[in-house]
């Protein structure tokens, strides 16, 4: 079984997936099966191995890793049994995002510009970072990895993203101008230097950015809309929701808009983009209204 697992991992990595967690899980399962004298996947063995996971979510993830492997390997060897992927009944839940209003984003930027700095550009750095995240929907990890060379006349070159893809993110003229003005304020720098750096010129660390952002949320007086406080990542959610609210009418144009948004945001699967449709009450009302209008028009015709 190990040889088949290695072949599967090599193929998946060739298509851009890291497969680090999958490798650990599948090799653990292979060892578990070998102890039972099995060289092929058996449903009960897969369930027994997955059940070792300490939580329902982990058991579900373990079993699904085996299922994905079996779907691949059964093409050449039907002796592998495909376990029921939903055996443990796990259901993925997502935390409702905080959708920032334009006023709240302005208050965040003003709070950032009041940050204390020892002669550096800390306040401007955070204000520019927040503005860029709001205008592009970049993942915070993508923004912090940007180098001077990644800022091109055509947009931002996002290299080796979450799914090991590289994409070009065009910028609105106002965003491009603001970023260019920020870079001009910095000292002479090489192409390899980070766009967002601390006062010593080192790349900003996520933990420092997150903690500073949380303080800015409090300073700006932004109150949570749910049980938990607004997060840095919610700027990405906000961008996606605003983009969907501006979607053109018509099924064909709306579909093209959704596909373009998925590409722009670097989603490997368009289902990740569709989730934003149900993330806020406003969008759900829009979907319901569009569905009702579509059904009523069909009845009239």
Active-site residue list: 139, 162, 233, 236, 267, 276
CA dist., res. 95 & res. 239, Å (int): 17
CA dist., res. 261 & res. 267, Å (int): 9
Q: Is 158 exposed, middle or buried (0-12, 13-18, 19+ CB in 10 A)?
A: buried
Structure tokens given for 37: 């004298």
- Phi and psi of 207, rounded to 5°? -60, -40
| Residue 73, H or E segment | helix 56-73
89 CB-side CA count, 13 A: 0
Instruction: Give CA angle at 115 (216, 186), nearest 5°.
Output: 120
Contacts 24+ apart (CB under 8 A), 60-64: 60/86, 60/88, 60/89, 60/90, 61/25, 61/90, 62/25, 62/29, 63/87, 63/88
3-state secondary structure of 36: coil
């Amino acid at each position: 079984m190990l040889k088949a697992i290695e072949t599967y991992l090599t193929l998946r990595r060739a298509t851009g997936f890291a497969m680090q967690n999958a490798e650990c899980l599948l090799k653990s399962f292979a060892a578990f099966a070998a102890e039972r004298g099995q060289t092929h996947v058996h449903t009960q063995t897969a369930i027994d191995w997955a059940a070792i996971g300490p939580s329902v979510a982990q058991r579900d993830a373990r079993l699904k890793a085996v299922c994905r492997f079996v779907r691949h390997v059964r093409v050449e060897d039907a002796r592998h049994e495909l376990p029921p992927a939903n055996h443990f009944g796990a259901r993925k839940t997502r935390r409702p995002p905080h959708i920032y209003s334009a006023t709240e984003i302005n208050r965040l930027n003003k709070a950032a510009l009041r940050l204390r700095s020892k002669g550096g550009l800390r306040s401007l750095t955070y204000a520019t970072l927040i503005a860029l995240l709001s205008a592009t929907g970049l993942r915070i990890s993508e923004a912090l990895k940007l180098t001077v060379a990644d800022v091109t006349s055509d947009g931002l070159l996002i290299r080796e993203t979450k799914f090991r893809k590289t994409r070009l993110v065009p910028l609105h003229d106002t965003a491009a101008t603001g970023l260019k003005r920020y870079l001009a304020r910095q000292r002479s720098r090489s192409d390899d230097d980070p766009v967002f750096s601390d006062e010593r010129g080192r790349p900003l660390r996520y933990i420092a950015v997150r903690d500073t952002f949380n303080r800015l949320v409090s300073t700006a007086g932004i109150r949570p809309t749910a049980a938990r406080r607004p997060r840095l990542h919610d700027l990405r959610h906000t961008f996606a929701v605003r983009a969907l609210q501006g979607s053109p009418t018509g099924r064909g144009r709306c579909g093209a808009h959704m596909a373009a948004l998925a590409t722009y945001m670097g989603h490997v699967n368009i289902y990740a983009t569709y989730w934003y449709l149900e993330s806020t009450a406003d969008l759900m009302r829009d979907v319901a209204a569009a569905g009702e209008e579509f059904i009523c028009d069909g009845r009239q015709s």
